């Protein structure tokens, strides 16, 4: 799905060759500051690379319309945005920004089930914990139905048990709907249980299948 060749970004990343496959769970691991989040941002053109080539579905990324790309390849940052209002309003606002039709409550409740958030749709988001807000933001992304999920530490605000349950559900969703997930994580437990492929960023970038 993604192919990177001789890609450089400032003095943060230098990638000789890297392939990220379609319909797989790819985990990106490495020390803090090694460039994991930077790699995610390169994949949906949030930042421009300085040198090399990145391909998405065999098309040069620079030739793909940025808006169209970000409708298919959506990134959820580690500290996602929460807007004033209810859970329903926060879930639907992504569809509004993308000029997509709204969905009914039954689909919204299905999303809440997927992200394991046992809350009423009318609950004000200001009353939610950090982990609950993180899950609402994830639900907003799922409603947009992207081809690729770029997730930056999606469970960082969750306890270990909740983390496992939510990531398990998210992986199930990804496989059921034939999506691709590329996830930055510090959790060895997530990598061990869920990764199809692992990208390790250190002095050099290495990749291995699980």
pLDDT in tens, the chain (210 residues): 999 999 999 999 999 999 999 999 999 999 998 999 999 999 999 999 999 999 999 999 999 999 999 999 999 998 888 999 999 999 999 999 999 999 999 999 999 999 999 999 999 999 999 999 999 999 999 999 999 999 999 988 888 888 999 999 999 999 999 999 999 999 999 999 999 999 999 866 777 666
Identify the pLDDT of residue 209: 63
pLDDT at 204: 64
Burial 140-176 (b: 16+ CB within 10 A, else e): bbbbbebbbbbbbbbbbbbeeeebbebbeebbebbee
81-109 burial by CB neighbour count: b if 16+ within 10 A, else e?
ebeeebbbebbbbbbeeeeeeeeeeeebe
Beta strands in the chain (DSSP E): 2-9, 13-20, 25-30, 51-56, 59-60, 73-76, 148-152, 180-184, 197-201, 205-209
Instruction: Identify the DSSP state of 107.
Output: H
pTM of the model: 0.94
Give the closest residue to 184 by CA, choosing from 99, 76, 84, 91: 76
Residue 157's pLDDT is 85
């Amino acid at each position: 799905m993604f192919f990177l060749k001789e890609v450089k970004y400032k003095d943060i990343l230098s990638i000789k060759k890297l392939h990220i496959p379609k319909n797989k769970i790819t985990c990106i691991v490495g020390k803090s500051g090694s460039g994991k989040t930077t790699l995610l941002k390169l994949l949906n053109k949030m930042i421009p690379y300085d040198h090399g080539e990145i391909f998405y579905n065999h098309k040069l990324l620079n030739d793909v319309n940025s808006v169209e790309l970000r409708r298919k390849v959506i990134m959820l940052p580690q500290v996602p945005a929460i807007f004033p209002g209810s859970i329903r309003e926060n879930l639907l606002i992504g569809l509004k920004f993308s000029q997509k039709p709204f969905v009914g409550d039954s689909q919204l409740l299905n999303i809440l089930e997927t992200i394991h958030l046992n809350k009423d749709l009318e609950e004000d988001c200001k009353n939610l914990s950090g982990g609950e807000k993180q899950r609402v933001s994830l639900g907003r992304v799922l409603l947009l139905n992207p081809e690729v999920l770029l997730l930056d530490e999606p469970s960082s605000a969750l306890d270990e048990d909740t983390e496992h349950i939510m990531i398990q559900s998210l992986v199930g969703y990804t496989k059921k709907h034939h999506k691709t997930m590329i996830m930055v994580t510090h959790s060895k437990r997530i990598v061990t249980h869920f990764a199809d492929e692992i990208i390790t960023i250190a002095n050099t970038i290495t990749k291995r299948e699980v």
